[in-house]
Every structure is written in C-alpha cells, then in structure tokens.
Amino acid sequence: MADIIYCLFSLSRRDPRFANETLAGVKKWLDKEKRAEEPYLFHAVKPRKVTKGSKLLFSFEAKVFGKAIAKSDVEDIPIRQQEAWRREGEYGYKYSIVLDSASIGLLRVEVTKNEIEEVLEIDCDRPFRYLTKAQYNKILEMGGLPLEL
C-alpha cells in the first residue's frame, strides 16, 4: 500500500468561482461538493504527489476550514475540454480531482495560516503545501477535530 499524502490546498479569489465569495460561501461550495461528488477543478500547478486516498485540507482567505479525502488521482483535463471552455469564456481549468463525499468535513474552529506557520514552522503561502502526518494531525487538533491514526 502506498504512503498517504497529506496536502493543504489554498483556494483563491483568482478562481472565478470564489472571486466574490466570503469564507461562508466557500464552505457552502465544499458542502455542495459533498452532495454532488463533482470533480474539484483547479488551474495552478499540478500537485503531482496527490493521489487517490490523499488527505486534503482546504483554506481560503488565509484560514484553514475544511478537509476531505481524494477519491481519485489528480487528472489532466483533456485539451479539447479546456479549449471548449475557453471558447465559452470559461476559466482555464487544467486539472481535476474527485473528493470522497463521505470524508468532507469542516473544522470546528478555523485555523489561520499564521497560526499554522508559527506552531509548525512551515510556509503556507503556496497554492498547495505538502504536509507530514504529524503536521496534518496538528492542524486537525488546532481546528477542534480528533486526530487521525
């Protein structure tokens, strides 16, 4: 069995889905993903290490607020689909991943990236940040959730 990858995804206002959203709106988006199991689309850098079974945390406006487990590997969106979206004026998404809807949850307490950087002595200023299991569990603990064994 492959090692589990832990990763913090930073959602951004540069993504049109979140351009005019508040943190509450982004939380509702994650809940929509829980119901629909639609792929999460993203455009920045491909997190090559993230695979099916990876444990993910999500942040927005420098606050970590949610978690999920990857139900699929990160997939390249076919060029034809990307071109079709561009013709329709849609955003240039390049990659997708499906989240396991049963695993999606919100932290009880939002944890700021500043708190994480201070406590864990890591840099969180990236589109995604790989974590160790201990770092992942510390963030869950800071967010009021039980540790994962």
**What are the pLDDT digits (tens) for 6-57?**
999 999 888 888 889 999 999 988 887 666 777 888 876 788 899 999 999 9
**Alpha-carbon distance 69 to 143, whole Å?**
17
Predicted TM-score (pTM) of the model is 0.89
Tokens of 23: 């943190």
State which CATH number among 1.10.1040.10, 3.20.20.105, 3.10.590.10, 3.30.470.20 fits the domain covering 6-142: 3.10.590.10
Model pLDDT, residue 32: 78
Model pLDDT, residue 56: 96
pLDDT in tens, 79-131: 888 888 778 877 778 899 999 989 999 999 999 999 999 999 998 888 889 99
What is the pLDDT confidence band of residue 147, given thresholds at 50, 70 and 90? confident
Model pLDDT, residue 29: 87
Model pLDDT, residue 24: 93
- Give the strands of the sheet with 63-69, arranged side by side: 105-112, 63-69, 55-60, 6-11, 128-131
Domain chopping of the chain, boundaries: 6-142
Model pLDDT, residue 82: 84
Beta-carbon-side half-sphere exposure of residue 8 (alpha carbons within 13 Å): 28
Higher pLDDT, 33 or 1: 33
Question: Is 89 buried (19+), middle (13-18) or exposed (0-12) by CB count in 10 A?
Answer: exposed
Q: What is the pLDDT averaged over residues 50-75?
A: 94
What is the pLDDT confidence band of residue 149, given thresholds at 50, 70 and 90? low
